[in-house]
């Protein structure tokens, strides 16, 4: 065994008794100029970022390089150039760094002949947890796995196996969690429950990196994203803030009000909208000056004695931001 | 120590599939049958038995069973992408490699010894060093082969195919045809032990006495170290 045993309590406190959250600026995962090439194919190209506590979603279209990047972040794959630090250490060479990592891999491979309990306990023993049995029970409770957990994993549904993988990732109370498509195979109730668990972990100061291609799910994880496109880092941060910075992509709004034609004409004349589509009580407009539109729309409506019912952005959601970034 | 035992248990649990157990049982049955019929009925049953143990046992069955079980020890994890569950834990790579080799040996030793002993006992030729020679040669050669094949399991994508090529091309043919190549044949050290114990003249049995102990152990140690290095440097799926 390398290094010293973990000093944090075992998983009984998954997301409950952990150390107080570090300052938001404290980076737990750092990538510096990371590239990965497979022969002539460059899967990840000169990517640099840092990730602090809380949930960060790793986004990218299929083949963008996010799985490769996630594997590099965990230390499973060596970068061709650049370096990765997790909790201050290189996960490929530092046992202390690996002790801080919990991973839910995407692949289905699992020790099919092991029971759920012994699979999770294996992770506790190999991580040198002080009380492997207690930690195992706590991890199984955290993912709401009960019932016939002493049966072989091969006999279980995909959802049960997925929760066993999540429990194994949590069992040693890691500071950094990498979750690759963690909701695969789970039913809606289990998904909601796991999302709540990940939120709790993030709020307790864990760094949670979630890779998913289902944008609806990602949006439920939070707003902090790291977008990979064609092997490069396309954007990082709150996706709404990212959207606000996209000056080359006019924002679209739906405005429901009275006197739509007059109001629309005034918005164009006042350069608050660059294009409008007018229906009986709805204006759909594009604007390159959203703050001014938001500030003056009410005045414009008041001027024409038009009641304003609604002003809703149409492309500030994650899907729109993602589409613009990877287009 | 708990990490070593956990990995040891894991390897054994997953190594002993029904197919592999049946294969060993078939080998035991076939060797016992051959011993009771062909070897017992030979003109010189003692020499026939020792030649059989040397050529068919040490030269063929032992490396094949060691390959099947040894390459599966960590090779199965490598193939089915479960290695990540061990690799990512803060365990020394040498601990992982040594536990896997120890577990593989726990299975390959009886898997190799029982068919050999079945043939010797069934032939009725247990005296004049036959039994002790068979046991010592099998143990030493199994040790070396198993460690090498555990390493092979995490080094190449098709360990069974590569291993069989090595066994048949190198160990079975090339080493028997060239004196220099024979020094690099693991099998030759077992044959030498068997020849010394039974005082018979066997093919490839011209290694030094010290080498019959030192070389197989050395091969196993080097294989364990290389497996540790491989674990450290490999990309894990």
Q: What is the pLDDT along chain B (237 residues), one digit of tens a residue?
A: 789 999 999 999 888 888 989 999 999 999 999 988 888 888 888 989 999 999 899 989 999 999 999 999 999 898 888 999 999 999 999 999 999 999 999 999 999 999 999 999 998 888 888 899 999 999 999 999 999 999 999 999 899 999 999 998 888 777 777 767 777 888 889 989 999 999 888 877 778 889 889 999 999 999 999 999 999 999 887
Q: Which residue in chain B is spatially nearest to A96 when comparing CA positions?
A: B90
Q: Which residue in chain B is spatially nearest to A92 when comparing CA positions?
A: B232
Nearest C-alpha neighbor of A156 from the set A169, A171, A167: A167
Q: Per residue in A189-240, pLDDT tens?
A: 888 899 999 999 999 999 999 987 777 777 778 778 888 888 888 888 887 7
Instruction: Enter the tokens of residue A144.
Output: 């709401």
- Residues 6 or more apart whose CB falls under 8 angstroms from that of B219 comprise B144, B147, B148, B186
Angle at A115 between CA A111 and CA A118, to 5 degrees: 90
The residues that bridge with A103 in the sheet, in sequence order, are: A178
Top-level class of domain A27-243 = alpha beta
pLDDT in tens, chain A (327 residues): 333 444 333 333 443 333 333 344 577 899 999 999 998 888 999 999 999 999 998 888 777 888 899 999 999 999 999 999 999 899 999 999 999 999 999 888 889 889 999 999 999 999 999 999 999 999 999 998 877 888 888 888 888 899 999 999 999 999 999 999 888 888 888 888 999 999 999 999 999 999 877 777 777 787 788 888 888 888 888 877 777 666 667 788 899 998 999 999 999 998 889 899 998 889 999 888 888 888 899 999 999 999 999 888 887 777 777 777 766
- Domain holding B213, by residue range, is 2-233
Select from A111, A175, A180 the residue whose CB has the most chain B CBs within 10 Å, as the one to mutate to test that interface.
Answer: A111
- Phi-psi sector, A256: left (phi>0), alpha (psi -120 to 50), beta: beta
Q: Per residue in A159-192, pLDDT tens?
A: 889 999 999 999 999 999 999 988 888 888 888 8
Provide the 3-class DSSP secondary structure of residue A208: strand
Q: To the nearest whole angstrom, how far is the Cα of B89 from the nearest Cα of chain A?
A: 6
- Residues 6 or more apart whose CB falls under 8 angstroms from that of A126 comprise B3, B6, B7, B86, B89, B90, B91
pLDDT of A209 reads 94
Nearest by CB: B14 against A75, A99, A111:
A111
| Residues, chain A | 327
Provide the 3-class DSSP secondary structure of residue B226: helix
Tell me how many domains chain B contains.
Answer: 1
Tell if the CB–CB gap between A113 and B7 is shorter than 8 Å: no
Angle at A124 between CA A111 and CA B2, to 5 degrees: 90
- Contact present, B91 and A2 (Cβ < 8 Å): yes
- Contact present, A208 and A226 (Cβ < 8 Å): no
Q: Which residue in chain A is spatially nearest to B78 when comparing CA positions?
A: A109
Using CA atoms, how far apart are residues B132 and A104, in angstroms rounded to an integer? Answer: 51
Q: Which residue in chain A is spatially nearest to B14 when comparing CA positions?
A: A113
Instruction: Enter the tokens of residue A155.
Output: 């006999």
Q: To the nearest whole angstrom, how far is the Cα of B139 from the nearest Cα of chain A?
A: 29
Helix ranges restricted to H, chain A:
66-74, 95-99, 116-126, 132-142, 158-170, 188-203, 215-221, 239-244, 260-269, 290-303, 318-326
Tell if the CB–CB gap between A126 and B89 is shorter than 8 Å: yes
Distances (CA, A) of B215 to A50, A135, B75, B135, B204: 51, 45, 25, 17, 15
- Contact present, B8 and B99 (Cβ < 8 Å): yes
Domain A248-326 grouped into CATH 3.40.50: no
Select from A125, A166, A171, A177 the residue whose CB has the most chain B CBs within 10 Å, as the one to mutate to test that interface.
Answer: A125
Q: To the nearest whole angstrom, how far is the Cα of A260 from the nearest Cα of chain B?
A: 58
Instruction: Enter the tokens of residue B84.
Output: 């990540």
Nearest by CB: B90 against A78, A113, A127:
A127
Nearest by CB: A1 against B81, B92, B235:
B92
Using CA atoms, how far apart are residues B205 and B218, in angstroms rounded to an integer? Answer: 19
Q: Please give the distance of CA B174 from its chain centroid, rounded to a whole number.
A: 19
Tell if the CB–CB gap between B13 and A114 is shorter than 8 Å: yes
Q: Which residue in chain B is spatially nearest to A98 when comparing CA positions?
A: B90
- Contact present, A260 and A281 (Cβ < 8 Å): yes
Using CA atoms, how far apart are residues A92 and A70, in angstroms rounded to an integer? Answer: 13
Q: In A, which residues are within 8 Å of B7 by CB distance? A: 126
- Contact present, A283 and A254 (Cβ < 8 Å): yes
Provide the 3-class DSSP secondary structure of residue A105: coil
Q: Look-up: residue for tokens 């196993």?
A: B220
Using CA atoms, how far apart are residues A155 and A166, in angstroms rounded to an integer? Answer: 18
* B236: contact with A, CB 8 A cutoff: yes
- Contact present, B66 and B194 (Cβ < 8 Å): no
Select from B13, B88, B234 the residue whose CB has the most chain A CBs within 10 Å, as the one to mutate to test that interface.
Answer: B88
User: ipTM, 2 decimals?
Assistant: 0.85
């Amino acid at each position: 065994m390398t290094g010293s045993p973990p000093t944090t309590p075992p998983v009984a406190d998954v997301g409950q008794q952990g150390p107080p959250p570090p300052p938001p600026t404290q980076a737990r995962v750092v990538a510096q100029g990371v590239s990965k090439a497979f022969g002539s194919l460059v899967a990840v190209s000169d990517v640099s970022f840092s990730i602090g506590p809380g949930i960060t979603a790793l986004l990218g279209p299929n083949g963008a390089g996010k799985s490769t990047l996630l594997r590099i972040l965990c230390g499973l794959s060596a970068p061709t150039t650049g370096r990765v630090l997790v909790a201050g250490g290189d996960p490929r060479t530092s046992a202390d760094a690996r002790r801080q990592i919990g991973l839910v891999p995407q692949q289905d491979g699992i020790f099919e002949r092991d029971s759920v309990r012994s699979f999770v306990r294996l992770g506790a023993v190999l991580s040198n947890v002080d009380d492997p049995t207690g930690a195992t029970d706590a991890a199984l409770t955290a993912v709401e796995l009960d019932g016939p957990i002493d049966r072989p994993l091969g006999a279980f549904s995909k959802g049960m196996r997925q929760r066993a993988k999540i429990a194994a990732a949590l069992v040693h109370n890691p500071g950094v969690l990498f979750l690759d498509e963690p909701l695969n195979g789970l039913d809606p109730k289990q998904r909601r429950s796991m999302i709540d668990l990940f939120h709790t972990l993030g709020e307790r100061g864990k760094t949670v990196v979630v890779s998913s291609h289902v944008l609806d799910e990602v949006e439920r994880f939070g707003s902090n994203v790291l977008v990979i496109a064609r092997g490069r880092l396309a954007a990082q941060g709150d996706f709404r803030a990212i959207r606000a910075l996209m000056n080359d992509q006019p924002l679209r709004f739906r405005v429901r009000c009275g006197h739509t034609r007059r109001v629309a004409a005034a918005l164009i004349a006042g350069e608050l909208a660059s294009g409008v589509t007018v229906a009986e009580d709805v204006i759909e407009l594009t604007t390159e000056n959203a703050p001014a539109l938001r500030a003056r729309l009410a005045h414009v409506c008041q001027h024409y004695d038009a009641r304003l019912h609604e002003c809703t952005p149409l492309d500030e959601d994650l899907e729109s931001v993602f589409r613009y970034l990877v287009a | 120590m708990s990490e070593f035992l956990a990995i040891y248990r894991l390897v054994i649990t997953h190594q002993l599939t029904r197919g592999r157990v049946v294969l060993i049982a078939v080998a035991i049955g076939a060797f016992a049958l051959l011993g009771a019929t062909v070897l017992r009925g030979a003109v010189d049953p003692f020499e026939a038995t020792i030649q059989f143990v040397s050529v068919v046992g040490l030269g063929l069955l032992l490396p094949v069973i060691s390959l099947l079980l040894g390459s599966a020890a960590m090779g199965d994890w490598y193939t089915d992408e479960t290695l990540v569950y061990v690799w990512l834990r803060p365990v020394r790579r040498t601990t992982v490699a040594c536990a896997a080799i120890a577990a593989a040996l726990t299975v390959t030793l009886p898997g190799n010894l029982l068919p050999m002993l079945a043939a010797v006992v069934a032939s009725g030729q247990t005296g004049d060093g036959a039994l002790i020679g068979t046991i010592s040669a099998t143990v030493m050669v199994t040790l070396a082969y198993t460690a090498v094949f555990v390493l092979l399991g995490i080094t190449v994508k098709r360990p069974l195919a590569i291993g069989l090529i090595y066994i048949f091309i190198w160990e079975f043919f090339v080493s028997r045809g060239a004196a220099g190549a024979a020094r690099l044949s693991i099998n030759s050290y077992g044959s030498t032990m068997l020849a010394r114990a039974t005082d018979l003249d066997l093919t490839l049995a011209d290694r030094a006495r010290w080498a019959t102990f030192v070389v197989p152990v050395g091969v196993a140690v080097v294989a364990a170290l290389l497996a540790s290095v491989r674990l450290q440097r490999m990309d894990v799926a």
